[in-house]
Structure 1
Amino acid sequence: MANLKALLFDVDGTLANTERDGHRVAFNTAFKEAGLDWHWDEPLYGALLKVTGGKERVRHYLEKFNREFEKPDNLDQFIASLHQSKTRCYVELLEKGAIPLRNGVRRLLKEAENAGMRMAVVTTTTPENVAALLENSLGHGSEAPFEVIAAGDVVPAKKPAPDIYTWAMEQLNLKPEQCLAVEDSDNGLRSALSSGVRSVVVTVNGYTQGESFDNASLVVDQLGEQPGECSKLAGDFAPVSIIDLDLLKKLHGAVWE
């Protein structure tokens, strides 16, 4: 049986419902500031979420949903500038307290920290976005519990490629059998599994609840703040009422026994 040494957390949609009320709103604000008539409504943004990474999402939008737009010669610079403005708008939303943590996240992070469990962030969003979310949700010094922040363009291939998980585990000097991932999407699940991490808990949100999560260890609707709030949606593990550290250790042991 492999001992659990670290928890690897995705950010967007996992720690907080950042996509619909955060990134989407920030993108639309950045488009308006740039004089563009683009607007990403909720259904469109749900389709765009199939592509990970903000800059990659803009490029996909132009290729699939807005082909009539006359692309500038310096398209890469144009997209990078839009994304930079979007990041600023997103941070402003966080500073206003518009994007709270999901139910049970604060509790689990504190429990893991108190137990000395190593933790890392493994995400495709930018380091600036991660820092802003943690700072405005958990307070000053909120990155401290996370030994590694694997984010943004630290690796060239975004999820569902395994690169970001592989990089994070290299920084932690840990093997896949020593780690458990917490994700919210099929892309995130595939990224973790393809890196060798076999114990993966998926906590779905409004955008991902209809996705397929084959080979996830456990799929739930939330982590839960109190016992009874968490509902199991899929997985062979015993009935679940809350996702706490003890349950994660048992789940991890069962996966690797």
Structure 2
Amino acid sequence: MGRLAAVVVDVDGTLVDSERDGHRVAFNAAFEEAGLGDRWDIPTYGKLLHIAGGAKRLAFWFEKAGVPAGDARRLAERLHARKTEIMRDLIEAGKVQARPGVHRLLDELDAAGVPMHVATTGTRAWVEPLLDRVFGPRFQTVVTGTEVPELKPSPAVYLEVLRRTGCPADRTVAVEDSQNGVRAAVAAGLCCVAAQNDYTQDDDLSGAALVAGGFEDPALVAWFRRRIPPPQG
């Protein structure tokens, strides 16, 4: 890949450390409000992340506990709606922040005039407030799981970003953190850079062009600087 034409980023676990201290906290609060004894500790939630989608994660959990499939799905949908409301409250309270090094990279891309977009299968109800609060108006196009319900590793959300923006796939890079995310980006024909977090350090990220320990990893910093055009003006 030569100079970048655009960058498309994931949100959960990539831009922000939202899984452990955001979603997990919100799920547990929703359990408690509903009078359920279920609680997801940090290791348990890490294992559940291999199931894409919060409502599906809940349904799997309840079915595993012996709840009939139909009842598990209805309970999951109800709890997931409340969990999303709680997640919005956590975001508003500033509990979910950018990962170290993210703002530096975004600043450099912005200074170079590289368009930035978002491809997430999180719901717009919490994604939009999070992006507004933590990042402001940096992203030109944001596609979420509300518009594209097919979850990663399906490439659908990335393909929709490419369709809307017209970005050339061969000069657009995706930034992901997980195995499902990398698989989705690569299936859409994109080069992918992986910035691991604590939950995804054991994922198979072999499809990525670069696997970094985070946004402050010198290898990731150097990779982007070799491909970012000189600052405009």
**Same structural fold, with TM-score higher than 0.5 when normalized by the shorter chain:** yes
CA distance in 1, matches of 2:212, 2:49: 20
**16-25 or 89-98: which moved more?**
89-98
Q: String of CA shifts for 1:138-165, please: whole Å, max 9, x gaps.
A: 3xxx1x2211111113223200011111
- Partner amino acid, structure 1, of 2:21: D
Q: String of CA shifts for 1:19-73, please: whole Å, max 9, x gaps.
A: 011100100101111222211111211111001111121122223x32x235665
How many aligned residue pairs are there?
A: 229
1:207 to 174, 199, 207: 199
The corresponding residue for 1:122 is: 119
8 Å Cα contact 2:59/2:75 also seen in 1: no
- Partner amino acid, structure 2, of 1:206: D
Query: TM-score by structure 2 length?
Result: 0.90
- Partner amino acid, structure 1, of 2:134: S
The corresponding residue for 2:41 is: 41
8 Å Cα contact 2:119/2:143 also seen in 1: yes
The corresponding residue for 1:19 is: 19
The corresponding residue for 1:8 is: 8
8 Å Cα contact 1:223/1:243 also seen in 2: no
Matched, 1:246 2:225: yes
Q: 1:207 to 1:13 in 2, by over 3 A?
A: same
1:223 to 215, 223, 230: 215
The corresponding residue for 1:149 is: 142
The corresponding residue for 1:82 is: 79
The corresponding residue for 1:97 is: 94
CA distance in 1, matches of 2:164, 2:133: 26
What SS does the corresponding residue of 1:21 show, helix, strand or coil? helix
Q: 1:23 to 1:200 in 2, by over 3 A?
A: same
Matched, 1:60 2:60: yes
Once the two structures are superposed, the pairs formed by residues 103-114 of structure 1 within 5 Å of their partners are 103-114=100-111
Q: Which runs of 5+ in 1 are unaligned?
A: 225-229, 232-239, 251-257
1:181 to 171, 174, 177: 174
Matched, 1:162 2:158: no
- Partner amino acid, structure 2, of 1:11: V
8 Å Cα contact 1:108/1:243 also seen in 2: no
Identity, % of aligned positions: 38
CA distance in 2, matches of 1:2, 1:242: 16
1:69 to 60, 67, 70: 67
Q: 1:106 to 1:243 in 2, by over 3 A?
A: farther
Query: TM-score by structure 1 length?
Result: 0.82
Q: 1:2 to 1:246 in 2, by over 3 A?
A: closer
Q: 1:133 to 1:248 in 2, by over 3 A?
A: farther
Q: 1:242 to 1:2 in 2, by over 3 A?
A: closer
What SS does the corresponding residue of 1:153 show, helix, strand or coil? coil
- Partner amino acid, structure 2, of 1:201: V
The alignment's C-alpha RMSD in Å is 2.0
CA distance in 1, matches of 2:70, 2:179: 33
- Partner amino acid, structure 2, of 1:108: L
Q: Which runs of 5+ in 2 are unaligned?
A: none
CA distance in 1, matches of 2:27, 2:166: 36
The corresponding residue for 2:50 is: 50
